[in-house]
Structure 1
Amino acid sequence: MVDEYILRKNGKKKTDYPTPELKGILEETHGLFVYQEQIMKTASVLSSFTLGDADLLRRAMGKKKASEMKAQREKFLSGAKQNNFKEELAENIFNTMEKFAEYSFNKSHSTAYAYITFQTAYLKAYYPCEFMAALMTTEINTSEKVVSDIRECKEMDIKIYPPSINESGSGFTPLKKSIRFGLNAVKNLGTNIVKNIIDLRESQGDFKNLFEFLGLMDSRRLNKKTLESLIRSGALDEFGFNRATLFKNIDKLQSNVGINNKDANPDQESLFDNDQIYQIPDLDIVDEWDIFNLSKFEIETLGYSISINPLSAVEKKIKEINSKSIMEIKTLKDKSPVTVAVYITSIDIKTSKKNSNKYAYVNFEDSTGILEGIVFNDEILKYEPQLELGIPLLVSGYIENSDENIKLIVNSVNGNEAIKEIKNINLPLKINISRNITLNESKKLKKLLKSILVIQ
């Protein structure tokens, strides 16, 4: 009905009416039933229903009770016959109204919904970043909805930046053609710790370094689990240490939390009111996590791999094996066999109360979309160690396409094949330099990096 309405409204299809007597009722909606009042008026004009009888017809259509509908149909057809309308015409009109009742509203409700729809459609079209940031903020406590919104941002070419201890707000922040991830959406960060971070920034400015941040935080709120989430999500990246190094030294970092927080340490005395002493420990520097663990930890803390697509590392291999994309899979017929290169964004393993067998609901993803999968007991027993978040997998099975809900029934999972023969993985390198450097120093730095890295 929606497509038909649009075609008629835009003059691409002729507007016609089931019978000329209905033109006055259906003219404003281009010959189609849109409002419940139109059903009532049609019953009155064609079958001489009173307003009370017409309202009973409207209610019966809404309830969809077979016995009531049968009685209403007979009454409608009988009245139409008495008014000299052909039985076939009356039958077709009643069938149309009955189908329309599945989605109908009265005019006042429709007006309210349409008003909001036009407002939000306008905002989404002309202020896409602001609209999507506001939408994700309203849904911030429902991870599944936020992840769905992030995918939509991707389709709209809106870049999502990971959380930042200095730049993120409590909710999602719109930027120029991009959005900054909100701190309240990071798992294991409560509203109190987020408020603590933002209050400190507002009163003292951005945190200059990692140890200033740790020292000023309230140790009663920034516990080890919260610090782990900040590290794994990328919220502390701007301080110049890679995530693996921060995680390796988490106990050292934790010992610095709150040492300059006067609220948490009321007995602490200082020579000067604004004196802040940062205990900067020697950190054990280690190599960054590989691309797969970076992705895995982002999915765990953010619900989505924001900064990394784990399949990009095996893109060449995917082309060689000629696997289908999720977008292509969604066009296949029921029971079609498929092999697809994907990574897991969520997994929920359950146990049947009936026979204690395991089964799992899995969300698979690639660059073209998301696909729900089901893994049954035998396959879980065989492949459970490989069912990790963020790891490229070759998954084989068949499509279950019913009621417009497409699922992949998993028969086999191969993680080794998906990551085999990976030699070079390109990762971005960000270096924070605390002072202006000369051109000569810049050349020396580039030469040093070139000796140990592949620079493009």
Structure 2
Amino acid sequence: QLLAKAGVVDFEHVVIYSSIIRPAANRFTHMMLERIHGKPWKVKHPDLDFLKESYGIMVYEEQVSLAAKVMAGMGYAEAESLRKTMSRDSMQYLIKNWEKKFFQGAKKRCYEDGVIKDVWGMIRSFVGYSFCKPHSASFAMLSFTCAYLKAHFPAEFLAAVISNQGGFYSPFAYLSEARRFGIQILSPDVNRSWMEYRGRENKIRMGFMSIRNLQEKTIKEILDERKVGYFTSLDDFFMRVNPNLSDVMALTNAGCFAALAPELSHQEIAYRAAWYCLGENNENNTDATLSMANGDMGQNAMFHQAPYGKLSKKDRCQLEIESFGFPISEHPLEPY
């Protein structure tokens, strides 16, 4: 928003913007925008010439130290202590002590009260949250790079962010953002998915990492077998991967077999999986598998009679929430 309002987006300005966005600096942010757009300004005092690079406004921690040294006559160590106190969420009495010391030192050097008050107001805006210039420059470089990738390679960028499990938001938030960019979200597929999310040609293919209750061992076997060749049928998949029933059902609920067996219903895949997984030679046969298979699978509400591609939106969303923790075929509020 600040970039859009400023209209100046060279690297030096991005460094300034990334540092001035502080909880206590709103007033100075508006002041800077006015100056960027042509409002006349000058530094508060000729001794504060180092503020010219940031439109006469303090934005970097180094400027706090310099102002303390120049105006209040503090030594380097003392000015650094002031900077550290302001950059932390320090007790009020500590801030008051520094304020008193700053005012006394500046008055001894014959600075006008108005100048002292204005400069201290800028220093005060650093309380609790601030950047030094190198930190801000590093942050700006990362921001600049991310903005470029998001603008020109949105599917690839958002897929990488989700796969990295980074950022402030959940995968669902990033996928919702992708939809707003017109990117198509594709469900996991045994022949096309990888461990991570992947973006290509304005599409994001969900990775196996998105599927709940799917063992990493099974994912590795799927990816290893794919090096030999794509799976040609469900039977081919079962023979080559040798999964247990719970893994097969996790893959089924996530729609991983929708392209491989589009004609089979969710229930038919479940029965076929149970038949294979209960085979006497299957080493993945466990008590949990037997218990799952011996239950009345036909009566289980999660085993639908229709093929995955023909499920109702409600049923499909139910399966997606079960598999990923969120729906991907539509937004939860879309029906309303």
- For the criterion TM > 0.5, the same-fold answer is yes
- Counterpart secondary structure, 2:204: strand
Q: Which letter maps to 1:207?
A: F
User: Counterpart in 2 of 1:190?
Assistant: 215
Q: Is 1:247 the counterpart of 2:261 in the alignment?
A: no
User: Counterpart in 1 of 2:253?
Assistant: 232
Q: Distance in 1 between matches of 2:235 and 2:262?
A: 12
- Counterpart secondary structure, 2:131: coil
Work out which of the residue numbers 153, 156, 168 in structure 2 matches 1:127.
Answer: 153
Is the alpha carbon distance of 1:308 and 1:147 closer, same or farther for their aligned partners in structure 2, counting shifts above 3 Å? closer
User: Counterpart in 2 of 1:150?
Assistant: 175
**Post-superposition shift, 1:104?**
1.6
Q: Is 1:307 the counterpart of 2:326 in the alignment?
A: no
Q: Distance in 2 between matches of 1:138 and 1:97?
A: 37
- Counterpart secondary structure, 1:239: coil
User: Counterpart in 2 of 1:209?
Assistant: 233
User: Counterpart in 1 of 2:295?
Assistant: none
TM-score normalised to the size of structure 2?
0.76
Q: Is 1:66 the counterpart of 2:92 in the alignment?
A: yes
Is the alpha carbon distance of 1:101 and 1:66 closer, same or farther for their aligned partners in structure 2, counting shifts above 3 Å? closer
Q: Distance in 2 between matches of 1:13 and 1:308?
A: 46
Q: Distance in 2 between matches of 1:33 and 1:157?
A: 40
Is the alpha carbon distance of 1:81 and 1:295 closer, same or farther for their aligned partners in structure 2, counting shifts above 3 Å? same
Q: How many residues are matched? A: 288
Q: Which letter maps to 2:97?
A: A
Work out which of the residue numbers 21, 39, 46 in structure 1 matches 2:64.
Answer: 39
Note the residue ranges of structure 2 that are not aligned, 5 or more in a row. 1-19, 22-28, 285-302
TM-score normalised to the size of structure 1?
0.57
Q: Is 1:294 the counterpart of 2:316 in the alignment?
A: yes
Q: Which letter maps to 2:251?
A: L
Q: Distance in 2 between matches of 1:175 and 1:190?
A: 26
User: Counterpart in 2 of 1:12?
Assistant: 37
Q: Is 1:77 the counterpart of 2:103 in the alignment?
A: yes
**Post-superposition shift, 1:23?**
4.5
- Counterpart secondary structure, 2:125: helix
Q: Distance in 2 between matches of 1:100 and 1:224?
A: 58
**Post-superposition shift, 1:86?**
2.2
1:400-415 to 2 correspondence within 5 Å? none
Is the alpha carbon distance of 1:151 and 1:6 closer, same or farther for their aligned partners in structure 2, counting shifts above 3 Å? farther
- Counterpart secondary structure, 2:315: helix
Q: Distance in 1 between matches of 2:98 and 2:151?
A: 44
- Counterpart secondary structure, 1:256: helix
Is the alpha carbon distance of 1:120 and 1:303 closer, same or farther for their aligned partners in structure 2, counting shifts above 3 Å? same
Note the residue ranges of structure 1 that are not aligned, 5 or more in a row. 265-283, 310-342, 344-365, 368-391, 393-417, 419-456
Higher relative CO (CA 8 A, sep ≥ 6), structure 1 or 2? 2
Is the alpha carbon distance of 1:169 and 1:111 closer, same or farther for their aligned partners in structure 2, counting shifts above 3 Å? same
Q: Is 1:53 the counterpart of 2:78 in the alignment?
A: yes
**Post-superposition shift, 1:14?**
3.0
**Aligned-residue CA RMSD in angstroms?**
3.1
Aligned 8 A contact 1:47 1:78 in 2: yes
Q: Which letter maps to 1:164?
A: D
> Which 4+ residue blocks in structure 1 deviate beyond 6 angstroms?
261-264
Q: Distance in 2 between matches of 1:186 and 1:37?
A: 47
1:420-435 to 2 correspondence within 5 Å? none
Aligned 8 A contact 2:252 2:269 in 1: no
Q: Distance in 2 between matches of 1:51 and 1:138?
A: 41
**Greater alpha carbon shift after TM alignment, 170-179 vs 298-307:** 298-307
User: Counterpart in 1 of 2:244?
Assistant: 223
**Post-superposition shift, 1:186?**
0.9
Q: Which letter maps to 1:31?
A: G
- Counterpart secondary structure, 2:276: coil
**Post-superposition shift, 1:177?**
0.8
Encode CA deviations 1:282-307: one digit per residue, 9 max, x unaligned. Answer: xx993354321211110121222212
Work out which of the residue numbers 141, 144, 159 in structure 2 matches 1:118.
Answer: 144
Aligned 8 A contact 1:129 1:158 in 2: yes
- Counterpart secondary structure, 1:179: strand
Q: Distance in 2 between matches of 1:112 and 1:103?
A: 17
Aligned 8 A contact 2:32 2:57 in 1: no
Encode CA deviations 1:38-91: one digit per residue, 9 max, x unaligned. Answer: 001111222222212211211221232212111111111112222222223312
Is the alpha carbon distance of 1:28 and 1:73 closer, same or farther for their aligned partners in structure 2, counting shifts above 3 Å? same
Q: Is 1:179 the counterpart of 2:179 in the alignment?
A: no
Q: Distance in 1 between matches of 2:124 and 2:169?
A: 35
- Counterpart secondary structure, 1:160: strand
Aligned 8 A contact 2:61 2:131 in 1: yes
Q: Which letter maps to 1:136?
A: I
**Post-superposition shift, 1:99?**
1.1
More strand by share: 1
Aligned 8 A contact 2:211 2:323 in 1: yes
Q: Distance in 2 between matches of 1:143 and 1:307?
A: 23
Aligned 8 A contact 1:15 1:30 in 2: no
Q: Distance in 1 between matches of 2:37 and 2:49?
A: 22
Aligned 8 A contact 1:8 1:30 in 2: no
Aligned 8 A contact 1:171 1:181 in 2: yes
- Counterpart secondary structure, 1:174: strand
- Counterpart secondary structure, 2:185: strand
